[in-house]
């Protein structure tokens, strides 16, 4: 007996490590042009680089979740019917590009309501995480404002700030992909 032990690797132990990544996205100013309280479907304009960036994330099998404050209804700026028409337009514009979101989540409260779902609170993110049984380590957020950053920080996930500049979203999407690729390499 030489003290040498031979281990047989099972087929399962030879498989690649796989993370299921979930990206939380703000809507106005991140995915579509922020024109204020959007009441007309014709005002739904996808920002430059967004389609390409979302396709990149989807090509890596990332799950995409919209989390957005939409207090225009509570403020009386738009009706719930107008909101629904605009939201249908948003959905259809992205579907026409072959893109579908895994979930779409809105907070309609006013800031002074102090609810748990209005960003910078993390309630919308927590709701999705609980519903989909997501690991926090497999999450990140992309947004365009300090409240988006606050929601990510309050939940404890990485945040990327995006502007409405040409192709900014695509550049950020590449950074997000690289971030999770680096994590996968360190875990292997």
| Residues forming the active site | 26, 28
Tokens of 148: 């988006």
How far is CA 134 from its chain centroid?
A: 13
CA distance 175 to 186: 17
Number of H helices, E strands in the chain: 5, 5
Give start and end residues of each alpha helix (H) in the chain.
Answer: 50-59, 80-95, 123-132, 146-155, 168-187
**Alpha-carbon torsion, ordered 85, 52, 21, 96, to 10 deg:** 40
Tokens of 168: 């900014």
CA distance 187 to 24: 23
Element housing 22 (H / E): strand 22-25
Query: Could you tell me whether strands 63-69 and 22-25 are parallel, antiparallel, or unpaired per DSSP bridges?
Result: parallel
């Amino acid at each position: 007996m030489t003290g040498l032990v031979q281990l047989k690797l099972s087929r399962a132990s030879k498989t690649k490590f796989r993370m299921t990544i979930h990206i939380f996205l703000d809507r106005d100013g991140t995915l579509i042009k922020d024109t204020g309280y959007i009441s007309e479907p014709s005002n739904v304009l996808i920002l430059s680089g967004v389609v390409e960036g979302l396709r990149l994330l989807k090509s890596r099998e990332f799950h995409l979740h919209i989390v957005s404050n939409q207090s225009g209804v509570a403020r009386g700026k738009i009706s719930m019917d107008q909101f629904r028409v605009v939201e249908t337009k948003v959905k259809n514009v992205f579907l026409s590009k072959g893109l579908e979101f895994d979930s779409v989540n809105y907070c309609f409260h006013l800031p002074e309501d102090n609810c748990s779902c209005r960003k910078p609170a993390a309630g919308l993110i927590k709701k999705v995480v609980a519903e989909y049984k997501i690991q926090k380590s497999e999450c990140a957020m992309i947004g365009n404002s300090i409240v988006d950053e606050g929601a990510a920080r309050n939940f404890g996930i990485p945040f990327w700030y995006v502007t409405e500049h040409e192709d900014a979203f695509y550049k950020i999407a590449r950074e997000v992909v690289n971030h999770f690729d680096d994590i996968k390499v360190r875990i292997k």
